[in-house]
Amino acid sequence: MASKIFCIANQKGGVGKTTTTVNLAAGLAQIGQRVLVVDLDPQGNATMGSGIDKRKLEMTVYDVLLESATVAEARTRADKAGYDVLGANRELAGAEVELVELERREARLKAALAAADADYDFVLIDCPPSLSMLTLNGLCSAHGVIVPMQCEYFALEGLTDLVNTIKQIHANLNRELEIIGLLRVMFDPRITLQQQVSDQLKSHFGDKVFDSVIPRNVRLAEAPSYGLPGVVFDPSSKGAIAFVDFAKEMVRRIATMR
Ligand code: ADP
Ligand code: MG
């Protein structure tokens, strides 16, 4: 069966993209899905957070983007997390400049992933906090975008740029691309403002808002320092349970996708 490819994107930093990527991946793996995480951020947080030392990688997504390696050659198994990782480190920052010179520069990742299509049920792409050439490669590869967001005062405003970018890419480069959903993360129901913004999101975006809600949970924040997704680090924590629920919701969602 072919894989479904999702970008975890939001042009803001620190909103929970990487946490969502590794924990959704681990949650999906736990319910029997074959998963590849693609780290498209030169910071390499998704790589490290999956228990893979970014400084020791022989090949990374950089080599794949420059077509000096295939996905099968460059991927690493994250044993404890239960999925494969196409890792990243600082070298990837150079790809930004090098890609500009090349043909089909925005479609490199898409072509590389096509060759690994039969190996995975889900490919999750952790995007950097910008709308750069790297993010563009992610968005051109994907069937859909998962947007993690905190329910803060400016949350809706921040979405406009991303929504417009996705519309443009849909129109010009990738007819399949759509926002799959907005994921409320770091949610604290005791904060009235967060409840209000959450209600606004639902009235504005309707069923594009995922049912699952990820609470603010310190275990999710502690897990990366152990090289594990929170779902594996402390499976009984509220954050882990929420991400496994979200994984199940994603499996239901893809059943309704074409
Ligand atoms: P991004 O990839 O968008 O920059 P991260 O996933 O790295 O964001 O999250 C930013 C910070 O917030 C990290 O320190 C992370 O551990 C923490 N964090 C993310 N989600 C949660 C959560 N649900 N509860 C508590 N801390 C969280
Ligand atoms: Mg990140």
Is the per-residue pLDDT at 258 higher than 80? Answer: no
Distance 19 CA to ligand 1 centre (A): 5
**Does residue 104 have a pLDDT over 90?**
no
- Secondary structure class of 118 (helix, strand, coil): helix
pLDDT tens sequence across 182-201: 999 999 989 999 999 999 99
- Ligand 1 neighbour 16 (Cβ under 6 A): yes
In Å, what is the CA distance from 79 to each residue of 96, 123, 227, 228? 30, 17, 11, 10
155-172 and 133-141 helices, crossing angle to 10°: 70
Q: How many CB atoms lie within 10 A of CB 161?
A: 13
Count of domains observed in the chain:
1
Q: For the whole model, what pTM was predicted?
A: 0.97
Going by C-alpha positions, the residue among 140, 133, 129, 44 that lies closest to residue 97 is 133
- Any ligand 1 atom below 6 A from CB of 186: yes
- Alpha helices by DSSP H, listed for 101-226, are 108-114, 133-141, 155-172, 192-205, 218-222
CATH number, domain with residue 191: 3.40.50.300
How far is the C-alpha of 202 from the C-alpha of 243, rounded, in Å?
20
Of 15, 18, 19, the residue with max ligand 1 atoms within 8 A of its CB, to mutate for a pocket test, comes to 19
Task: Specify the residue with its C-alpha closest to ligand 1, atom 26.
Answer: 221
Per the structure, the complete domain to which residue 80 belongs is given by: 4-256
Euclidean distance between CA atoms 224 and 207, whole angstroms:
31
Q: Which amino acid is it at 25?
A: A
Determine the Cα–Cα distance for residues 89 and 53; give it in Å rounded to an integer.
9
3-state secondary structure of 194: helix
Mean pLDDT of 204-231: 97
Task: Give residue for tokens 């519309």.
Answer: 167
Q: How much is the pLDDT for 180?
A: 96
Give yes or no for residue 220 CB within 6 A of ligand 1: yes
pLDDT of residue 130: 86
Which one-letter DSSP state was computed for residue 223? G
Compute the distance between CA of residue 117 and CA of residue 103 in angstroms, rounded to an integer.
23
Closest to 7 measured CA to CA, from 38, 29, 28, 44:
38
> Which of 132, 156, 159, 117 lies closest to 3 in space, CA to CA?
117
| Tokens found for residue 129 | 């906090």
The strand ranges marked E within 41-126 are 76-78, 83-86, 122-126
**Is it the case that residue 45 has pLDDT exceeding 80?**
yes
| Average pLDDT of the residues in 62-82 | 97
What pLDDT, on the 0 to 100 scale, is given for residue 158? 79
- pLDDT for the residue numbered 213: 98
